[in-house]
Structure 1
Amino acid sequence: MAMTSEYNAEVSQIDTPLNDDELDEGQQLYEHFRFEVDRGQVPVRIDKFMFEKLQHSSRNRIQKAAEAGFVHVNDRPVKSNYKVRPGDIVTLMLDRPHYDTTIEPEEMPLDIVYEDDDLMVVNKPAGLVVHPGCGNFHGTLVNAIAWHMRNIPTYDPNDPQVGLVHRIDKDTSGLLVIAKTPEAKTSLGVQFFNKTTHRSYNALVWGNFVEDSGTIEGNIGRDPKDRLRMAVFPQGSDIGKPAVTHYKVLERFGYVTLVECILETGRTHQIRAHMKHIGHPLFSDERYGGTEILRGERTGSYRQFVLNGFKTCPRQALHAKTLGFVHPRTKKQMDFTSDIPEDLGNLLEKWRRYTPSQKV
């Protein structure tokens, strides 16, 4: 079964503007983007398909690229009205080399939770980019992993058959699993694809919940008004991919709530987009409106309290707390839990001290 993970689609994006010029006959082209269309993909125009995948481009520029012969399907150029089919290999071929994203080992600290000959589980701090990409070509988690594995002859950080199995956002903290062998990568990849892994996140979100638990369902795709943000579309829509998030209230603070989120799917910004969609953006999440004072009193003291909270945790209040999977070799269930990081922990303590004195 051939699979191209969502993670791979994200990091293989164009890092420079599309070229509007016509393609010269015999001109050498360089691959900038590759994606294997999912088995369940409904027919959709390729310009729309690529628009959802390419974070830093517009549909108009993708159409111009297709007109210039830069958009290929199964190694042949296609026009923007071509409809992708399951199993298609879509590539963006440009007239200049891709930025060199060769992963070089860099000595950086790693918080290793578990390690054996097959895999490694790390606790990523907030602020650390997972993989080289637009504007972040050095100092990433995979550079640190490459340094840690530098004396293992069989581990090549540039080989897609090993390495990260999934990812979390730069400003999200928490657990990630890394495969050291192709066999481990395949096994773990199948588990993520079949949704048999167990992942839970802790999130501090704006507002109170009437219920103690619930489920959010809705397709997630690129927001057409903001390419750096994801939006939620109706289930069954041909826009975006299906996504399901289960949540449970852990602690109530009146104006904000600490929730546990359990993912059935692993879409880009899934928790952030789903919570925004139901009116509960993550606290301190600038991209999704969480740095506005969305609930509470109209007093100067409350405003200052919230602003101090933003300074205490200057990133989305989201932590990948648990991770569980079946070990590729031993077939035993492996479950890991990471402590709430200091910035989020201090923020929660502020709300715990504030809430009892308020009538909320």
Structure 2
Amino acid sequence: MSETRTFEADETARGERVDRWLTAQLAPLTRTRVKAMIEGGAMSVNGAVHTDPSAKLKGGEAIVVTPPPVEDPEPQPEDIALDVLFEDAHLIVLDKPAGLVVHPAAGNWTGTLVNALLHHCAGSLSGIGGVARPGIVHRLDKDTSGVMVVAKTDEAHQGLTQLWQAHDVERAYLAVCHGSPRPSVGTIELPLRRAAGDKRKQAVARWDDEGAREAITHFRRLEGYGAGRAKLPGETVASLVECRLETGRTHQIRVHMAHVGHPLVGDQTYGRSGLAGLRPEDEPAERALKTVAGFKRQALHAAVLGFEHPVTGEDLRFETAPPGDFRALTEALSAL
């Protein structure tokens, strides 16, 4: 509940405690929550603020409830295992698993990477990102795995932010997409903005669109799958692609690849189901189709992250292999 609500206590309410009566009107709020709201001054009776939850109603009262704005809970440390690749006094680099949300937000107030970092770093994280995003310089989508760096000090946070703004960071991703990009090596330079009508999605925009932001993705095909079993001779049903980012917009690779006709396998937002063009004529094809059908996240892994340490000046570069589900997907496709 967040909006103001108005009620009239009729004669049947006479003699009932106001907190008990109001709880019935505000279900599913608990009586404890309603009592706290009353004591906090969120209720008025006949135009006057009323803070006694035990007061008895006389019947005929006009009751207005104006709850205080809901504050996002401050993230708390949680003992969640982390795969740490590098750590010093200034920053920490880790291999984020798919399924782990980076920072708390609506629907995910606990169990995030930030909660894990607060425990691991004993509260030693840069405060520049705010209470909900301490130390977060960049992020990976929940269902994207791979290398991330987090700042432990404000100095490191500022330095890393400058590197990102200058596009002076090496970032390479592995992705499995539908079909085969042609040409096999190229650059997608299309601005992005929030999709109309759905702020959770991104869309390709025109440069003069409000909110349009530059987005540049370089790609090259590493391997093609299924040409021998495609419905059209010589066609490739899926490909392993390396994508390198100049910019780091939300969902950039996913939107760019989908826009050019090669959405990522498993992408529940921008992708498509099945393997278009594959003939299910034998066991390898059936296994590939089953594996793709069971892959319920975007097939995207942040494989390489390289940058100059913002404090020591050391050149750092980290590379990780895709996780097991990603490898199982490519193995099933390689058998085609």
Measured against the shorter chain, the TM-score band is 0.7 to 0.9
Alignment of 1:90-101 (within 5 A): 96-101=68-73
Which position in structure 1 is the counterpart of 2:166? 194
Do the aligned residues in 2 keep the contact of 1:161 with 1:181 (CA within 8 Å)?
A: no
TM-score of the superposed pair, with normalisation by structure 1: 0.67
Do the aligned residues in 2 keep the contact of 1:324 with 1:335 (CA within 8 Å)?
A: yes
Q: Indicate yes or no: 2:271 matched with 1:289.
A: yes
Q: Indicate yes or no: 2:67 matched with 1:134.
A: no
Distance apart, 1:344 and its partner CA: 0.2
Which position in structure 2 is the counterpart of 1:320? 302
Correspondence for 1:261 among 243, 251, 255: 243
Which position in structure 1 is the counterpart of 2:192? 220
Q: Which entry has the higher C-alpha Rg, 1 or 2?
A: 2
Which position in structure 1 is the counterpart of 2:290? 308
Distance apart, 1:209 and its partner CA: 2.5
Amino acid of the residue matched to residue 265 of structure 1?
A: T
Alignment of 1:159-174 (within 5 A): 159=131, 162-174=134-146
Which position in structure 1 is the counterpart of 2:254? 272
Amino acid of the residue matched to residue 183 of structure 2?
A: E
1: CA distance, partners of 2:265 / 2:291: 9
| CA deviation string 1:242-280 (max 9, x = no partner) | 101000111111210111001111100000000010000
The farther-off stretch of 295-304 and 280-289 is: 295-304
Which position in structure 1 is the counterpart of 2:79? 107
Correspondence for 1:123 among 73, 95, 103: 95
* SS of the residue 1:171 aligns to: coil
Indicate the RMSD between aligned Cα atoms, in angstroms: 2.7
* SS of the residue 2:183 aligns to: coil
2: CA distance, partners of 1:243 / 1:217: 6
Amino acid of the residue matched to residue 199 of structure 1?
A: R
Which position in structure 1 is the counterpart of 2:154? 182
2: CA distance, partners of 1:322 / 1:336: 6
Sort the Cα spacing of 1:307 and 1:266 in 2 relative to 1 into closer, same or farther, 3 A.
Answer: same
Do the aligned residues in 2 keep the contact of 1:149 with 1:155 (CA within 8 Å)?
A: no
Sort the Cα spacing of 1:155 and 1:275 in 2 relative to 1 into closer, same or farther, 3 A.
Answer: closer
* Aligned length in residues: 265
1: CA distance, partners of 2:123 / 2:257: 43
Q: Indicate yes or no: 2:183 matched with 1:211.
A: yes
1: CA distance, partners of 2:212 / 2:278: 34
Correspondence for 2:327 among 335, 345, 348: 345
1: CA distance, partners of 2:277 / 2:184: 19
| CA deviation string 1:24-45 (max 9, x = no partner) | xxxxxxxxxxxxxxxxxxxxxx
Correspondence for 1:229 among 193, 201, 207: 201
1: CA distance, partners of 2:131 / 2:181: 45
Q: Structure 2: 5+ residue runs without aligned partners?
A: 6-65, 226-235
